[in-house]
Structures are given as structure tokens and as C-alpha cells.
Amino acid sequence: MTAPVIEVANLRKRYGSTVAVDDVSLEVHPGEIFGLIGPNGAGKTTTMECIQGLRKPDHGTISVLGLDPQRDATALRQRIGVQHQEAHLQKRIKVWEAVDLWSALYSRVVDPDALLTRLGLESKRNAWFMTLSGGQKQRLFIALALIHEPEVVFLDELTTGLDPQARRAIWTLIADIRARGTTVFLTTHLMEEAERLCDRVAIIEHGRVIEMGTPADLVRTHCPEQSVIYTSDGSTHTLRGEGDDFVTNVINDIARSGVRVRGFRTESPTLEDVFLKLTGHGIRD
């Protein structure tokens, strides 16, 4: 196996008496979309900013592309792309001006017009930042994070506050970034987003990683139970069970019984259920 792109071991960070990150260890592999998921204040941004070299850990080691984010900050900046939570630009900066400004920061950049086209912003080249919609602003921030063709891109709560349609458009973009070979490290408190997008996730709460794995594995491990809900003879029946054959067995049993089925659906648990099971509360509670 190739070396991890990001390696974090025993990371701790406190602000005064607040322990924001408490002994976090994780690895992100090349070409992966890795998600750090957890509620408000869990320590996602702090972890991410330590990895980017923006904050100095109190304890632990971090390596990104084989570099130390503190010691090798300048070299690393050329190789990573960063989008910050709640980022802003001057109201009257134009889209092309922002791209131009960012281009000047890097020794090697992609064709800005091609990048804007790729992000669906070609018609907004001359628009002021303040006139962009929420989804367009986020797409601009993705463009700025990609201008130097980074090997790893960091996205902090990229779709928070967007409507479902704009969110889906951003998901497609992120999948496209990964398809081009870029490793993606993102944070979110949207479980659906993590489930759709991430190859692996780490669930973080109170600064600690409480579980890590592929969304499917986490669901299988912690919430294996499926439900079959069907309607026959005017009443609704719910059956719960586990295992690969559960749904097939229910279908066969119903068929054998000869009842007329007027409605049939299955329900599978999600990452949201896993979170609830592990923490005892919903992610937004």
C-alpha cells in the first residue's frame, strides 16, 4: 500500500481550559474522500487547521504529503488547497479578479477560464462577489482552492446553509475532484452528505474520534437491523431482522402465505442512526 497522504497521531489542542481536540489519530490515503463528522464544537475545524499548519498542536505529530505542516509550511502551501468555514471576500471583487489574485500566490496554476467553466461559473466571470448566490460563492471558493492543482484539498463545512439542489451540485463537484486523483479531506455535520460522498469517515465528539471506517461498514457494525414494512388486508406490518437473506426470506414468506400485498418497502439504517447509537443523541441536538 502507498504511504498515507495525511497522518495524524495523538493530536491534542486546547484553548485555555477548553480541550478542543483530545488525542486524535487518523490516516487519509491517496485519492480518498475522507470526512470528519461531528456536531458543532466537536473539534473538526481545529483538527483540520492543525493539519493545514494554521494552528500549532499542543501534542502529537502530523504529516501531510510527507511534510511537517509547522516546519514545512511554505512548501506545503503550494501543494494543498484550502476552503475555510464561513469564508468571505470583498463585496465588490469580481469573480475573475479573485481568481487572478489567488493565482499570484502560487508558482504553478491551472487555466483560470477552464477552471471557472468546470465549476459552472463561466457566466459569472464579471460578477461581483456580493451578487453571487450561496452555492455560487461556495463554488468560487472551491475554484480558489483548486487554482494551483493541489494534491490534497481541505473543505470545511462546504455545503452548510445551501439548499438541497446547490448541495447536490457541490457533491458532484467534489466527486469530480476526487476522480481527477486529488485527495479530499472534508468536515461536515450532515450525515447524508458524509454517507453519499465519503469513502471513509471519522466520527468526532468532544474532541475525540469515537469511530472510523467506511459508512457502509459502520452501519453494518452498529446498526445491522433492517425493516420490511408491508400492507395487506388493510393493515400495516413491520418486520425487523438482520443478515443478507432477511428481506428475501420475508418476500418468500409473504408469497407462500398468499396474502394480497398493497404496499411494500424496506428501511435500512443510515449513518445518522449510527451516530445516534454511538452518542445517545442526534447530531443537531
Q: Assess contact for 179 and 210: CB atoms under 8 A.
A: no
Query: Is the CB of 20 or the CB of 64 nearer to Mg ion?
Result: 20
Smallest distance, Å, CB 42 to ligand ATP?
4
Residues in 140-169 at the binding interface with ligand ATP, rule: CB under 6 A: 157
Among residues 41, 181, 224, 282, the one that binds ligand ATP under rule CB under 6 A: 41
Cβ closest to Mg ion, residue 85 vs residue 227: 85
From the list Mg ion, ligand ATP, none, partner contacted by residue 18 (C-beta under 5 to 8 A by kind): ligand ATP
**Spatial distance between the Cα atoms of 24 and 210, rounded to a whole number of angstroms:** 9
The SS3 of residue 100 is helix
- Nearest approach, Cβ of 66 to Mg ion (angstroms)? 27
Name which of 129 and 154 has its Cβ closer to Mg ion: 154
Give the one entry of ligand ATP, Mg ion, none that residue 195 binds, where binding means its C-beta sits below a cut-off of 5 to 8 angstroms depending on kind: none
Q: Which residues bind Mg ion (CB under 5 A)?
A: 44-45, 85
- Binder among 4, 35, 38, 57 for ligand ATP (CB under 6 A): 38
- For residue 265, give the 3-state DSSP assignment: strand
Distance CA 20, CA 255 (A): 55
DSSP code of residue 178: H
Q: What is the DSSP letter of 129?
A: G
Site string for ligand ATP, 170-199 (x = CB under 6 A): -------------------x----------
Q: Which is nearer to Mg ion, 186 or 218 (CB)?
A: 186
Three-state SS string over 4-18 comes to CCEEEEEEEEEECCE
Contact 34, 200 (CB under 8 A): yes
Answer yes or no whether residue 15 interacts with ligand ATP by CB under 6 A: yes
Question: CB within 8 A of 197, min separation 6: which ones?
Answer: 33, 35, 171, 174, 175, 186
Which residue's CB is nearer to ligand ATP, number 15 or number 133? 15
For residue 199, give the C-alpha cell.
469513502
State which H helix or E strand residue 183 sits in. strand 183-188
By CB under 6 A, the count of residues binding ligand ATP is 14
Looking at beta carbons only, is 121 or 283 nearer to ligand ATP?
Answer: 283
- In the block, cell 426470506 appears at 249
Neighbouring CB atoms inside 10 A of 236's CB total 10
Instruction: Please tell me whether residue 18 binds ligand ATP under the rule CB under 6 A.
Output: yes
Interacting residue ranges for ligand ATP, rule: CB under 6 A: 15, 18, 20, 38, 40-46, 85, 157, 189
